[in-house]
Amino acid sequence: MPEVSGPNEEEMAMAHVITGPDTQVRLSDDYVRLVARDAFFWAWPIVNVCSRRSAFARLPHQRLLGGVLPVGPANTLTMLTDYVSPSQRAVACPDPDVVTGQAIVALDLSPVVVQVPDFGNRFWIIQVLDSRTDSFAELGRMYGTPPGFYLLAGPNWVGAVPKGIQKVFVSQTSTGVVIPRVFREDTPEDLQAVQAVINQIGLYPVDAFDGRMKFMDWRQVPVGPATPEADAGGGETRWVRLEKFLDTLPVALADARPLPGESARYAQVLAVVDAARREPRLRAVFNEAVAAAERELIEPLFQFHNFGRPLAHHWSTIANGACFGTDYFTRTAVAKSNIFVNKQNETKSFYQDLDASGNRLNSAHRYTLTLAPGQVPPVRGFWSLSLYDRHHFFAPNALSRFSIGPKSRTLQYHADGSLTILVQAATPGDAHAGNWLPAPADGAGDFSLYIRLYWPGQSALEGRWTPPAVIRL
């Protein structure tokens, strides 16, 4: 048999000259459009989170923007002291059932310490997300997390863990978001009681850690101007700006190292970005493609009925919230419609835009949702049904009621144990007011319904429990 020889040294050297895109070649306009469109879709959530970090990078201290949005410099926490305000426009589908807060963490600057108080029997979770909106820590009542101190570190951190730290969680990205959520009952007494708990929630750079619990009266946080501005149309703040995407994208990708299998994708995108930043003509082509992708790919995903696992009666859900990995479609759809969702074992969400006949929910009509006997949502925590207007924010109403569930203590059950919730703009009268979830008062506004199961039961996680139909009267 003839001898089979491998490549010679010259051939091996040539093989290693170019291992990715050749950055010296001329790129066609159609190729730039293809790559720009694709990159805009899958990188949209990463750019979204990194833009939030940039927006607040120069803040001198914690504050409430417009009196409603808790913000602060990187690696500091700011808490609200009550439910989120209806006028908040920074995060779509805000959680109406808990006292919440926010920290943008910059783990490339420093690891941070999360301070967890004793919550007693109160439901709580401190959500910790990387810039892909994937969870990288487990802190909450469902995990049996004991009070104490926990360290969040970036992917490149090397150092000694301080004495007194109970556990270290390592992120795959340098930028992240921390969102505490603490249940409070819908009573003045519990509003007062919850203050002592939330005043002990903390987050600060590791250099400030001394092993002692720190206290913060969040009612003393100063109020700042209402910036950044909300979208002119009344929707969520536009964190992903089309005109800035080309220059923001390489910064965001440098912050988020490639997942396994993504290195070639990163190289392809960055080669096109580099060419577009050098050539004005390609920059224009890139920006046009991004604008088209926003209109044709991203905007439709704001509607819940355009994504998710389809369920009976036109409801939908997702099974990989905060664990998206390389599921680019679901991650971007969730980031557009209701960013910062929890893992499903923490909070299981169900989405609805349509009535039982498949028609769009609209406040010109009246609806009922009836939970049959024994079919109340299965939870170890609690549940709620929320209503959001066409922008996925709260619809102002006379009761200031934006969700309904056990926390409100107003629900009246039928004799057989079933429960009917009324969804409509006009009051159903005093006899039924306790079961009323007000729809937008404009008389002809589209809206969506959203069921949250906090610490859901196994039947919900396995799909054996799903919501009932929304019946138009």
Q: Predicted confidence band at 13 (pLDDT cuts at 50, 70, 90)?
A: low
User: Please, which residues bridge with residue 103 across strands?
Assistant: 178
**228 vs 39, 56, 74, 245, CA distance in Å?**
25, 9, 16, 17
Does residue 180 surpass a pLDDT of 60? Answer: yes
- Dump pLDDT digits (tens) for 237-259: 999 999 999 999 999 999 999 99
Does residue 444 surpass a pLDDT of 90? Answer: no
Mean residue pLDDT across the chain: 94
pLDDT for residue 229: 64
Q: 217 and 135 in contact (C-beta within 8 Å)?
A: no
pTM over 0.85: yes
pLDDT for residue 226: 79
pLDDT for residue 409: 84
The region of weakest confidence among 12-21, 122-131, 316-325, 452-461 is: 12-21
Q: Which two tokens stand for residue 128?
A: 């910790």
User: Please, which residues bridge with residue 115 across strands?
Assistant: 149, 202
Q: Are strands 223-224 and 124-130 parallel, antiparallel or unpaired?
A: unpaired
Burial (CB count within 10 angstroms: exposed 0-12, middle 13-18, buried 19+), residue 368 = middle
Instruction: Supply φ then ψ for residue 22, to 5 degrees.
Output: -80, 110
The region of weakest confidence among 10-24, 218-232, 261-275 is: 10-24
- Dump pLDDT digits (tens) for 46-96: 999 999 999 999 899 999 999 999 999 999 999 999 999 999 999 999 999
Q: What is the CA radius of gyration of the chain?
A: 24
Mean pLDDT value of segment 444-472: 97
Does residue 231 surpass a pLDDT of 70? Answer: no
With residue 423 as reference, give the H or E element that holds it: strand 419-424
pLDDT for residue 7: 62
pLDDT for residue 233: 76
What span, in angstroms and rounded, lies between the C-alpha atoms of 321 and 464? 19
pLDDT for residue 97: 96
Does residue 121 surpass a pLDDT of 80? Answer: yes
Does residue 14 surpass a pLDDT of 60? Answer: no
pLDDT for residue 234: 82
Choose among 89, 175, 125, 93: nearest CA to 340: 93
- Dump pLDDT digits (tens) for 340-353: 999 999 999 999 99
